[in-house]
Structure 1
C-alpha cells in the first residue's frame, strides 16, 4: 500500500502528552462491510461506527498479536454486533440482523440508538495471557460513541471523548465515515482538563466535520490545535477477514461426531458461512467423511 491510504488512523498527543488522540477516516472499509453483509442504512451506520472504533482501539494495543473484540448484545431490533480488530487496525465485523429498518430519529438521523435499544457492551482484549481482559458496561444510549465514552470512564478510568459517524448518500452508498477518540492522561492538569472539556462541548457533530471533507489531521487540528498538537504516525485501517476453509472446518468438528454422521447420511453437501465476511465454504460428503476419519 502506497502513501495514498484511503482509510487511515492518525495517532497524536497534545498539551505536552497530557492528551492523547486518535482520529480515523473509514469510508472504504464501511462501504466494503455494507456490501459484504448487505446491511440496511441504519445497520451500516451502526456497524460502521463500531468498525471505526475497533480500528482506533486496536491501534492502541501494544503487542503485534493482541486482539480486541467489541461485542454488543442488545434488545433492539438489530439484536447485536461483533467487531474484532488487531494491533495493525485490521478490522472485521457483522451485525446480527443486517436488514433492520427504522424510521429516522426525531433529528432526521439514522436511528442507531433505536436499532440497539438497551443492552451490554463488552470489550475483550486478548493479550496472549491465560485470561483475556474483559470490560463490560451497560449501553447508555446505544449510539455507540457515548457507550464507549462511558466504558472508558467506568472500566478503564480514562476520561475520554469518543465520536463516531457514518454519513450515507441517497443511493445508500457510504459518503463519509470516521471518528476520533481523545483521552486525558492521569497527570493532566486541571487547567488542561477544563479547557479540553469546554473545547469538546463546542465542537460540532463528527458527521458535520466529515461532511466538510475534513481529514483526521484537520479534525484533530480543529479540536486540539490550541493545545500544541503533535501528530506521531499514520497507519492504514481496512476490513480484512482471515477465515480459511481449515478454520471453518474446526467449527464443524466442534459440533460433534453424531451431527456430522447425520449430515453424511443426508447425502447433501453442506454450506458453512463465515459470519464476518459471508464467504461460503462448501463441504462435500467426502470432506465430511475425512473430518470424521481425522477426528477419531
Structure 2
C-alpha cells in the first residue's frame, strides 16, 4: 500500500510529510504506457501533488501541479484531494531520453529548463487560486521548493524520485516535503538542514527497504516530534460519462451538428485514466436537442 506519514516537531516549528508512491506511479506508467524518462517526470509530479493534497485544510479542497517546459515531453499535470486520491497525465509519454552521465533518468532535459510551474488551489469558490513561478532547474522538486519560497514565503525542503528497473517497471517511488517556520532559530534550521543533507534520494531509500516512518525519523533526528498515523495514497480518476458529455457540449452546437452528419459513434477518452466513453448517434441527437432548447 502507498501511504503518507506526517510529523510535527513538539515546538510546532517543523512539519514533514513523507510518502511512498511506488504502486500508484507504476499504475500511472501502465495507464499512459510511459517510457522510463516520462514516468520519472510524471511520477515525481504525482508524488509531490499527492503530498500537497494531504496538506490541504478541508476534505473538499483540491490542488493541482502543472509544469510547462521547453523540453520534448511537453506539459505534465497532476491533481489531488485531501483524501489521498491523485491522478495525472503527460503530453508525450512515449518520449525517452538517454540517461545522464551519472546514469540517472534525465528529467531536467525532458522537461526543459525554461518554462513555468503552476500550483492551482481549488477551495470550492467560483475561481481557483493560481500561483506561478519560472522553472529554475527542470527537476520538479527544486522548482516546487522555489515556488514555496517565492510565492508562499514558506521555506521548504522538497524531494521526489522514481526508480525504474531494466524492464521499465517502477519498483520504487516516493518523496517528501519538509517546511519550517520562517522565523525559526538558526540552530534549528542548521540542524534540520544537516539531517536532510544526509538523506539519500527518496527512491533510493525506499529501494533499500526504508519506509516513510524510517525516513521521517531521519528527518527529525535530534528533535522531539509527534508522528501521526498512516494515510493511504492511491491513483484515482474522477472521470464519468457525465463529464465526458460535458466535453462534447463544450464543442458547441455547430461542431456537434457536423459530427452528427458523419453518422459515426464518437469516442471520448479520459486523458487521466484512459477510460473510453462511446456516444452513439441518438446520444448526439439528444445533446443537440438540449442545446437548442437552451438557446
TM-score range, shorter chain: over 0.9
Match of 2:71 in 1: 76
Match of 2:34 in 1: 39
Q: How many Å apart are 1:18 and its aligned residue? A: 1.1
Rounded Cα–Cα distance in structure 1 between residues aligned with 2:264 and 2:126:
40
Match of 1:199 in 2: 195
Q: Cα deviation per residue 1:130-155 (whole Å; 9 max; x = unaligned)?
A: 33221101111111111111111111
Match of 2:22 among 27, 30, 44: 27
Match of 2:289 in 1: 293
1:48 aligns with 2:37: no
Q: How many Å apart are 1:205 and its aligned residue? A: 2.2
1:18 aligns with 2:10: no
Match of 1:222 in 2: 218
Q: How many Å apart are 1:281 and its aligned residue? A: 1.0
Q: Cα deviation per residue 1:152-199 (whole Å; 9 max; x = unaligned)?
A: 111111110001010011111111000111110234222101211222
User: Does structure 1 retain, via aligned residues, the 8 Å contact 2:173–2:202?
Assistant: no
Rounded Cα–Cα distance in structure 1 between residues aligned with 2:15 and 2:111:
29
1:65 aligns with 2:60: yes
Rounded Cα–Cα distance in structure 2 between residues aligned with 1:60 and 1:180:
12
Q: How many Å apart are 1:203 and its aligned residue? A: 2.1
Q: How many Å apart are 1:15 and its aligned residue? A: 5.1
Match of 1:276 in 2: 272
Q: How many Å apart are 1:129 and its aligned residue? A: 2.5
User: Does structure 1 retain, via aligned residues, the 8 Å contact 2:86–2:236?
Assistant: yes
Rounded Cα–Cα distance in structure 2 between residues aligned with 1:171 and 1:252:
38
Match of 1:102 in 2: 97
Residue 294 of structure 1 aligns to a residue whose secondary structure is helix
Match of 1:178 in 2: 174
Q: How many Å apart are 1:62 and its aligned residue? A: 0.9
| Structure 2: gaps spanning 5 or more residues | none
Q: How many Å apart are 1:14 and its aligned residue? A: 2.1
Q: How many Å apart are 1:223 and its aligned residue? A: 2.1
Q: TM-score normalised to the size of structure 2?
A: 0.96
Residue 179 of structure 2 aligns to a residue whose secondary structure is strand
Residue 11 of structure 2 aligns to a residue whose secondary structure is coil
Match of 1:3 in 2: none
Pairwise CA RMSD of aligned residues? 1.1
Match of 1:130 in 2: 126
1:154 aligns with 2:153: no
| Structure 1: gaps spanning 5 or more residues | 1-5
Residue 227 of structure 1 aligns to a residue whose secondary structure is coil
Q: How many Å apart are 1:58 and its aligned residue? A: 0.4
Q: How many Å apart are 1:207 and its aligned residue? A: 2.6
Residue 147 of structure 2 aligns to a residue whose secondary structure is helix
Rounded Cα–Cα distance in structure 1 between residues aligned with 2:162 and 2:102:
15
Rounded Cα–Cα distance in structure 2 between residues aligned with 1:255 and 1:150:
38
User: Does structure 2 retain, via aligned residues, the 8 Å contact 1:15–1:192?
Assistant: no
